[in-house]
Structure 1
């Protein structure tokens, strides 16, 4: 069908004129159909018909109509008439590009055939036959890449691709605005020049053959190529493969007479003759581009291709690299295998990093002295005589085994394998035993050489050196190892060489350290090992990853600045003058005043809602500033509440000053992830928010990676939030570690809770001593902040009766003791709008449900919630009515903290109390052990009329509870500590039983994409860490029963299962139920 105006008189003539006008417009720039219609004075539909006509005329008029489907524009690609000479030039250039491509390039071939068809005979037949024979080459990526890049360039559309940078193990992902496609005159390779948008937002060059998985980014936003852009600036210094990023350097070379003629004939870019010497050699200067590290990597292989016919004169770092690689080649292939095993008579600690332009090896002495200095500085925070001097010695001793020829050969073999692909060295070389042997002999006066002084320290300190790279073993294994290695030739050689090179250090006096009690000594070894491990890894990082080291050690805010921010934040709260805020202000002021007390143990007893979190932080910062302490470590018992604590601190202090370290932490972006990963290794941050599990299990671990951080607890304030949750069966080792930190490591400890346990009561074992109350007369604030009235119903009730009561309230929270109870009550409630919460739901799901609960409460909508204990300690919920199944007394009061939390309930304009009903379920099914004992004690006290608003009640409650317990060190951890059995201590000291296994839940569409992204990018423990928000931990006793519903994810190389059964939006994992299940 034709457009309407073709029916008019002279329509054909008019149409022809418009087609000519349309061609002229399309030559100028891209147009939309509507813009063309306006310019031609016709309807848009007519323009579309005209464009169809032009498409049919393409073969006859020598142009190509381009349609950009993303931006909906049209443009004309007019043909260019070529002379025969033009065709020969273009054809020859294409053949050169084809020969230099990495494989068959269909685009080059098709272009050659088109040009060949336009040549006169006999050139046409020969060119066509030659071009067709080229197709036999193996395929390459350049052709498809060129087509996609060209389309993106013409459309001004972003491309996304992976790129193999020199020196990198894995390809890097980039986004690029294409400005130009250029050929390097040095290697005839095709390069794309443009602005990369992924990292530095700067102009870069990329070799087409190295680009992988090229895709166009679907965006309607067209970029602009700057008018100042000149492609000549970007490959003028190139010599081959362009890594990009560095400034050009001048390299001076001397070619022997046998190579001079070829150099002069080569036409090499940027090569300038400087001097023809009398011996016939030629000195030249080459200006060449460098990689991101400032090294002319692309020139090195070219220089090496001239073999002995060239000498690098300068710069020195390039000459040194050229010589080292020449030595490595000779060493690798020479019959003399000992050639160059130690360069210049030196001993090395670490091989050069790949991106170091100078390829510098780290001298062993440099590393030993650097580690010793750092360890000494770390141990200076210890309140143990001569600890810093001893740490220095351990730093010197830790890598003495690297002096052995065995290790030096190993190091160079590893270097050759990494750089040149030669076979890697077999196995590892023991480099810690030599230092441990020397340390043991030195400290026991057992070394025969008069050069080595001695004192009377015990052999336990050899652990610090022997296990700085591996888990601490037991005493018998270490003794056997040292006796076996002591007389080995490798150890003797290493010690002889060390004594010769370090004579000035060993000529000093070994430190005398005061004798310590066995438990204190056991812990001192942990702290020394922590200082050594951190020092060793930091210096290695400084040498191998200087950027990462600089990022880690960048200046941080001091505690005085953070304290000022807290005070400013408190002033804002003070402006809201309510009864609750007045009490919070008084508690906060009392905390600031108490901060002037000498370091030690403190107790902050504050009713729920009394501003405990902020007041404890203010105390910790003020106290740290007053006494020159370095950081605040805030430990909370549950991951379910750590997020809100860390978020509150981050808002108050700045996210860059707060480290959130726990298993379920998920950083917001890559920068935050990098910062958190580095800081979590050694807790070198002003404020650390972590879990009590992470804190105490690190302190009593035998894993160097976990122990690494604990030396940074020295000189800090540790705040233990909800301290009543410390497990009673591990009370003795837990309190002993706290006492040791206070006594010998300049630590102050704050015990925070509304229900203080009797940790300083005389109970037949060493409890805490000298605990001081931060807030005088806590009773006054419990009365002042009384926001609930308790109702006791201790006669057993069926779930149906409890459910009936809950249905009578619009907003009500009911907390029960086990997950099975939560399911039973939720079923009895039979309310589709009700909410269930338990750890049968994975953390991300629970967070989503909690957010929905808070939203409904805020908007005063009906909200009935049945939950396990996971919401009762520290979770910010505020219900007018709370029901609590009879349980431990502290749990009952903590549950009451979710009722009328802000004291805003009123009736008729007058404040009223919230209601907390304590009921006894007919089917209790309590977890056995301490939980059942505590619940029985609570029942007796409540029957006696106990006042739950009296903080003194909990002193009596916990005193009786601890006294009735058979063991407060049920696993005999203290006994194993006295035996220095570090592996057994780490095995037995578990705040949370480890008889569970992790199960990934990928059943909800809203989280599936995030899970799939993690699984596509990570494996092993990194994947397990990042998947924590989507994991449910299930008791191992249920594994057999649940076998039909789980699949082991063996592809991740880590212990993880995937849930294949049903997962309910309301209940979580449906097939899982256990009457004796855990409390959360």
Structure 2
């Protein structure tokens, strides 16, 4: 036991990225497993040693004792509350106050019957009492220092309220950070019994050497790109933007907004900033975060090429799979705590690390400190997460020495909220009319008033065919899978013979979608036999918004069903993408009828449509206000003002992530938790809560989802031989556990989320249970090679 406690102490102190947390962490690490010194735990472990798997499974509370020890020694100090909560929660998040019962976490733990006297006697036999008391004193001093820092930033700004967040929220974030270190160090030390190298991480000098080499490789890569193509004015602009980003690396911790037009090279420019900042300020990691796997996979490859060593880059998302078992195990270990120099991951993984109750997510959080985080396409993050995201950015940049870059061609960060704004966000690149004009590739045209009440599917299809005759390649993006399917099926009967027609939606499994995307890219790049003004094959693609951001293909014309202005501008990024046309590409905004496209269940899309409609109305009256173009900074600013105003009218706290069960929101649950505090007072005869840590961590963490699942059922599509072989492995009762795990991971690339309504229509004939894992498999009679899952058997 003494060896484990000292091991957890050592590992955590080595990895602790915040100096003011180290003494607090030391006490938590030494106390976290004190409860294992009880006779009850000893007898349980003796039974396990003697009987092995035959020993009866039982839960012996070993986390209450350590928390109670620090509460007795510590009194009402912030450090004591942080330490106790971390110990109580190191096997799973807990609420500091239960809003259902009004009971505090401390009260619950003091009610438990444990051998407290035995534990404390034995603990101070393996840990010197006087030395431990000194550790506690140092921890309390740092707790007070920490509280002063929080107060100075959040609570001490006279008259500003919670403009940049509340002190309670940031205390809660420090608690999660402490818990992250404790969990990771505990699991790592336990793992070293089987793998002595499990606790090793690269030292500062090794990481600095990596940044030095990566910078050199990056500069060589950029020079090679220049040499292999003819220089243009756009290359000059991209170089200027990139050098401005590099210059900003002089600041150790800051928040930047990188707002450059599509084609401005923001991925490589932000990476250049990240590398120079990491080297100059000895950062531990560089994170590149994107909302969609399509962007991630594409840019991960670009980052690997640019830094010149794929071993430095960890790509972490659900589509990563290794056939070799050793490679798969090495990958799993790297994803446990994000120890690689450069991590490329999804917004879902990143936001879960900050807010989810999943233990694997909490464990990684400390790796975000003392790093560089590049958030790409931030406008695509859900509006309900806005204030949580802002507060996380503040916590990381103000308290954790992390630099944050917010990248987009259309950013909502310009909108000022009543509370919980991003603090001191600077422009990374100064706006320039030269850049705006130079990177202009399209003209956006408003056609929403063409047909009163909006276009039907037939009218949208006919409009598409007319655009096709004029432009030869057309991308149609709509808001619902049904509309995409109906439009595609109408066009199937109407397109000319020389038209290649494609459909994309999430009714197709990821492997199928990837195959179709490759076919589209090939069709758009292949030359026609007959040369002319349009020298590529004639293509129409009908898609949902999954192709809207980051997919590297280029159509001559894009038609976008009404959504938000950010959606329109992102869709425009798929038009004349490389400015290769001798003229500006065309982007049409169209309005569809409710029968063609019912978006009523899609709250954020509906509000975005209303905000865009208000902007378009004003634009028609005075286009000069917007520089005669709908993708101007002025238009984006007005759009987001309208959008957030409409969100607040619907629910004034919508951007705080509503939690309807308790008529509150996650910002409150992770801050002052007024619902829990009021219940505490009610159940304690009006007595005020004594603790300064009252958050409902578990309730908020359980509720948090970046993407609402809407009770969707995951169904495997046996689309090809690889999927069928994986299912055969699961069918075989003699396959090993590792083979079954590998098969399940492989099948992630064949899963489609099916609504309960569609699942009911498919019935037992369409979906069947498979194997002991209980996975659901689609009958391929209900899968169409063009559109994916269908309601009707074919």
> TM-score w.r.t. structure 1 length?
0.61
Q: Gapped runs of 5+ residues in structure 2?
A: 98-102, 151-166, 527-535, 649-653, 660-664, 674-694
- Name the CA distance, whole Å, in 1 between partners of 2:203 and 2:427: 37
- Name the CA distance, whole Å, in 1 between partners of 2:575 and 2:517: 16
The CA deviation at 1:753 is 0.5
Give the corresponding residue for 2:219: 567
The CA deviation at 1:1058 is 4.1
- Name the CA distance, whole Å, in 2 between partners of 1:521 and 1:1072: 54
Match of 2:18 among 382, 400, 424: 382
- Name the CA distance, whole Å, in 2 between partners of 1:1072 and 1:932: 30
Give the corresponding residue for 1:987: 702
Structure number with greater Rg is: 1
Cα contact 2:26–2:135 (8 A) shared by 1:
no
Cα contact 1:817–1:868 (8 A) shared by 2:
yes
Structure 2 vs 1, CA of residues 552 and 670 (structure 1 numbering), >3 Å: closer, same or farther? Answer: farther
Match of 1:735 among 378, 387, 390: 390
- Name the CA distance, whole Å, in 2 between partners of 1:984 and 1:1050: 33
Q: Deviations over 1:95-135 (max 9, x none)?
A: xxxxxxxxxxxxxxxxxxxxxxxxxxxxxxxxxxxxxxxxx
- Name the CA distance, whole Å, in 1 between partners of 2:637 and 2:491: 37
Is 1:522–2:172 an aligned residue pair?
yes
Q: Deviations over 1:567-590 (max 9, x none)?
A: 221112222212332222121111
How do residues 190-201 of structure 1 correspond to structure 2 at under 5 angstroms? none
Match of 2:477 among 815, 827, 839: 815
Give the corresponding residue for 2:51: 417
Give the corresponding residue for 2:685: none
The CA deviation at 1:457 is 4.1
- Name the CA distance, whole Å, in 1 between partners of 2:745 and 2:202: 21
Q: Secondary structure at the match of 1:595?
A: helix
Give the corresponding residue for 1:849: 516
The CA deviation at 1:801 is 1.8
The CA deviation at 1:919 is 2.3
- Name the CA distance, whole Å, in 1 between partners of 2:753 and 2:520: 24
Cα contact 1:658–1:685 (8 A) shared by 2:
yes
Q: Deviations over 1:261-285 (max 9, x none)?
A: xxxxxxxxxxxxxxxxxxxxxxxxx
- Name the CA distance, whole Å, in 2 between partners of 1:441 and 1:1020: 49
- Name the CA distance, whole Å, in 1 between partners of 2:126 and 2:30: 12
Structure 2 vs 1, CA of residues 526 and 483 (structure 1 numbering), >3 Å: closer, same or farther? Answer: same
Q: Secondary structure at the match of 1:965?
A: helix
Cα contact 1:632–1:717 (8 A) shared by 2:
yes
The CA deviation at 1:847 is 0.6
Q: Secondary structure at the match of 2:430?
A: coil
Give the corresponding residue for 1:974: 667
Cα contact 2:716–2:775 (8 A) shared by 1:
no
The CA deviation at 1:1038 is 3.6
Q: Secondary structure at the match of 2:754?
A: strand
- Name the CA distance, whole Å, in 2 between partners of 1:388 and 1:983: 25
The CA deviation at 1:1031 is 0.2
Q: Secondary structure at the match of 1:543?
A: coil
> TM-score w.r.t. structure 2 length?
0.81
Cα contact 1:1020–1:1053 (8 A) shared by 2:
no
Cα contact 2:29–2:182 (8 A) shared by 1:
yes
- Name the CA distance, whole Å, in 2 between partners of 1:458 and 1:1022: 44
Structure 2 vs 1, CA of residues 503 and 722 (structure 1 numbering), >3 Å: closer, same or farther? Answer: same
Match of 2:421 among 767, 772, 786: 767
Of Structure 1 and Structure 2, which has the larger fraction of its residues in helix? 2
Cα contact 1:754–1:951 (8 A) shared by 2:
no
Is 1:1070–2:763 an aligned residue pair?
no
Cα contact 2:715–2:775 (8 A) shared by 1:
no
Q: Secondary structure at the match of 1:610?
A: coil
Q: Secondary structure at the match of 2:336?
A: helix
Q: Deviations over 1:59-94 (max 9, x none)?
A: xxxxxxxxxxxxxxxxxxxxxxxxxxxxxxxxxxxx
Cα contact 1:371–1:395 (8 A) shared by 2:
yes
Give the corresponding residue for 2:36: 402
Q: Deviations over 1:608-644 (max 9, x none)?
A: 1211111111111212222222111111011232111
- Name the CA distance, whole Å, in 2 between partners of 1:752 and 1:1049: 43
Cα contact 1:1024–1:1056 (8 A) shared by 2:
no
Give the corresponding residue for 2:3: 366
Give the corresponding residue for 1:478: 105
The CA deviation at 1:547 is 5.2
Is 1:914–2:585 an aligned residue pair?
yes
Q: Which is worse superposed, 593-602 or 456-465?
A: 456-465
The CA deviation at 1:548 is 5.1
Question: Larger RCO: Structure 1 or Structure 2 (Cα < 8 Å, ≥ 6 residues apart)?
Answer: 2
Cα contact 2:5–2:30 (8 A) shared by 1:
yes
The CA deviation at 1:405 is 2.7
Q: Deviations over 1:507-546 (max 9, x none)?
A: 4241121235211111111000000011111111122222
Is 1:877–2:564 an aligned residue pair?
no
Aligned residues: 687
Of Structure 1 and Structure 2, which has the larger fraction of its residues in strand? 1
Is 1:468–2:188 an aligned residue pair?
no
Cα contact 1:398–1:432 (8 A) shared by 2:
yes
Match of 2:284 among 613, 630, 643: 630
Q: Secondary structure at the match of 1:814?
A: strand
Give the corresponding residue for 1:82: none
Q: Gapped runs of 5+ residues in structure 1?
A: 1-363, 446-454, 907-911, 1074-1080
Cα contact 1:397–1:436 (8 A) shared by 2:
yes
- Name the CA distance, whole Å, in 2 between partners of 1:536 and 1:614: 37
- Name the CA distance, whole Å, in 1 between partners of 2:279 and 2:203: 21
The CA deviation at 1:435 is 1.2
Q: Secondary structure at the match of 1:695?
A: helix
Structure 2 vs 1, CA of residues 456 and 883 (structure 1 numbering), >3 Å: closer, same or farther? Answer: closer
Match of 2:73 among 425, 442, 449: 442
Cα contact 2:291–2:346 (8 A) shared by 1:
yes
Cα contact 1:799–1:828 (8 A) shared by 2:
no
Structure 2 vs 1, CA of residues 456 and 468 (structure 1 numbering), >3 Å: closer, same or farther? Answer: closer
- Name the CA distance, whole Å, in 2 between partners of 1:635 and 1:393: 34
Give the corresponding residue for 1:692: 347
- Name the CA distance, whole Å, in 1 between partners of 2:399 and 2:320: 32
The CA deviation at 1:790 is 2.4
Give the corresponding residue for 1:839: 506
Give the corresponding residue for 1:70: none
Q: Deviations over 1:464-509 (max 9, x none)?
A: 1122123434533733442123x63x33212210112212542424
